Structure 1
Amino acid sequence: MNRRDAIGRVALLMGGAVIGAEFFISGCKSGTAKVEDLFVADTVAFLNEVADTILPTTSSPGAKAANVGHFMAVMVQDCYTPEDQKVFMEGIGKLDDAANKKFSNKFMSLTAQQRTDLLIDLDKEQKEYGTKKNKDAEADAAKHKGEKDYKAPEVPNHYFTMMKQLTLLGYFTSEIGATKALRYIAIPGHYDGNVPYKKGDKAWAT
């Protein structure tokens, strides 16, 4: 699966544009500042657990097995703007704050079910945030329609949107995701444009 296809799939699953996609497609040379804190072992472990709660082990290995936490760190450092880097870094603390508020404990100390319940709440929150953001942008654009010098205000992305997108992107472009969760045939190889589909079959990675 190439980068453009992977981003297209994540955008379809998320119902919106993938943050940092333009840099990911071009090779992640955004020129953004380094965020070394993301590569601290505890931070990568935290991100792996968040990712594994989003995509846990089922009939195929989960996101932690694909080390999606490290993928997130690389992508945020190399493909995110400084503004989005800041939101993501602050989001790690906000996620822990949400865990404390809901369960009086840090995320890493929660049970698997508590983690799932928390991320369901955050997923609902990021969807509502995105909907409001889009509506406000449309209303503002309509208000300034016809103004040549009009520039839409920059509204921060939601940190959990970033985490969820990077989890999906990192997992389905990993070797484990492509070969265990998706169906995979090494390329180059025989091409068959009319492969029969059976209900329940996994999607193709290639």
Structure 2
Amino acid sequence: MTRRDAVARVALLMGGTVIGAEFMLTGCSPSTSDKQAGTQDSKNPGQVANNFKALNPEQTAYLTEVADTILPATKTPGAKAANVGPFMAVMVRDCYTPEDQKIFMDGLDKLEAASQKASGKGFIKSTPAERTALLTALDKEQREYTKTKKPEDPNHYFRMMKELSMLGFFTSEIGATKALRYVAVPGRYDGNVPYKKGDRAWATS
């Protein structure tokens, strides 16, 4: 599966474009994502410095738990088995604009506050059922927000988290080979492959 295919699939599942897709499709270099930071890098004239502080191990582990609630293990492994958190951290650092980086980081605090309000506990200490209920409510919130969102309006932090969870999982080895059907070296093209309801989608095409 190519990066373009993965972004397209996540966009289809989410019902819209993927935040940061333009950077993801062009390599996600820090110099690209820093264009709107507004601070010149004194060591590299003409380049824009990135003041984004990378996520720490605790925050990365937190994201893995969020992703695993979105994509839990069922008959196939979940997001935790694919170690999605570090992937999400890199994508935020390298593929988001400074504005979206701030929204995402502030979103970690908002999610924690929402958890405290909903159950009186932080997200990590919440039960699987409490986590699922919370993220289901946040997902409903972001979908309603996205329906009326104007281009100039800020993105919703939970949409970012959900997109990166899905992108990270389905492009991982576990996601591509266990959750999807995968052929390492595809043979001839067959445009009429038999399909039964419930069959897993193909990771390769």
TM-score bracket for the superposition, by shorter chain length: 0.7 to 0.9
Alignment partner, residue 157 of structure 2: 159
Match of residue 63 from structure 2: 47
CA contact under 8 A between 1:34 and 1:77: conserved in structure 2? no
Give the aligned CA root-mean-square deviation in angstroms: 1.3
Structure 1: tracts of 5 or more residues without a match: 138-151
Identity of aligned residues (%): 65
More helix by share: 1
Q: Does 1:99 align with 2:104?
A: no
Q: Which residue of 2 aligns with 1:62?
A: 78
How big is the shift at 1:34? 5.6
Aligned to 1:2: 2
User: How many pairs does the alignment contain?
Assistant: 187
Instruction: Give the equivalent residue in structure 1 for 2:135.
Output: 119
**Separation of aligned partners in 2, 1:174 and 1:79:** 18
Query: Residue 203 of structure 1 aligns to a residue in which SS?
Result: coil
SS in 2 for 1:107: coil
Q: Distance in 2 between matches of 1:73 and 1:8?
A: 21
Counterpart for residue 11 of structure 2: 11
**2:197: which partner in 1?**
199
Partner of 1:21: 21
Does structure 2 conserve the Cα–Cα contact (< 8 Å) formed by 1:37 and 1:43?
A: no
Unaligned runs of at least 5 residues, structure 2: 35-49
**Deviation by residue 1:51-94 (Cα, 9 ceiling, x = unmatched):** 00000000110001111111110000000000000000000000
1:178 aligns with 2:194: no
Counterpart CA distance in 2 for 1:76 and 1:90 is: 12
In the alignment, the residues of structure 1 paired with residue 197 and residue 18 of structure 2 have an alpha-carbon distance, to the nearest angstrom, of: 29
Distance (whole Å) between structure 2 residues aligned to residue 28 and residue 196 of structure 1: 37
TM-score relative to the length of structure 1: 0.87
